[in-house]
Amino acid sequence: MKYPEILSNLIEDLKMLPGVGEKTAERYAFSLLEKTKEDRESFITSVKNLDKLRKCSICNYITEDEICSICSDKSRNNKILCVVEDAKTVLLFEKMGTFKGQYHVLNGLISPIDNIRPEDLNIPTLIKRVIDGGHTEVILAIKSTIEGETTSSYIKRLLKDSNVLVTRIANGIPIGAEIDYIDSMTLEMAFENRNELV
């Protein structure tokens, strides 16, 4: 039993999404088919609008403008920088609501196995930003995997001769845990109990 080509194309496209297999993709495709034309138009517009997003020229977070809303918020502390692996983690911290400094999104972690080098990530821009910016603290909010450890010690090494305090959130976060799966209470504790990286 084969679906009309239009439907099978949609099913194939939906399978691009993480966690969406054949069955789920079929369910989504039929669900979209049953929606009104207006609902579908709105869905398509939202997807198309993603093209308007880009990376903030300072922190690499997602923005519609040259500089994101966090970097342009003058009420935030611009001397404390929280370094995260990806933009999703910024959102998680913002939901937590207690951190009022600024961020730097690395867009990945160093991984020799996958051939991801420091210069493939936003590490050179981080170092330059910290050295030029006179930050007092850099908080590494990076998970405790091998890649996370490698990335943290690399950044720490490059900032060794600067006067900035480099800390790392650690307590309460299980080894290897993805930061986005941790509940906000655990994350908040991990944040409060951050340690100086030696």
The smaller minimum CB distance to Zn ion, of residues 29 and 58, is found at 58
| Residue 1 neighbours by CB distance under 10 Å | 2
* Residue 6 CB neighbours (<10 A): 10
Closest approach, Cβ 83 to Zn ion, in A, equals 13
CB of 116 to Zn ion, least distance (A): 22
CA angle 20, 175, 59 (to 5 degrees): 70
CB closer to Zn ion out of 61 and 93 = 61
- Judge contact between 141 and 135, C-beta under 8 A: no
- Nearest approach in angstroms of CB 14 to Zn ion is 31
Closest to Zn ion by CB, 94 or 196:
94
List contacts with Zn ion (CB under 5 A).
56, 58-59, 61, 68, 71
Strands 195-196 and 137-141: unpaired
> By C-beta, is 139 or 182 nearer to Zn ion?
139
Residue 35 bridge partners (DSSP) = none
CB of 8 to Zn ion, least distance (A): 41
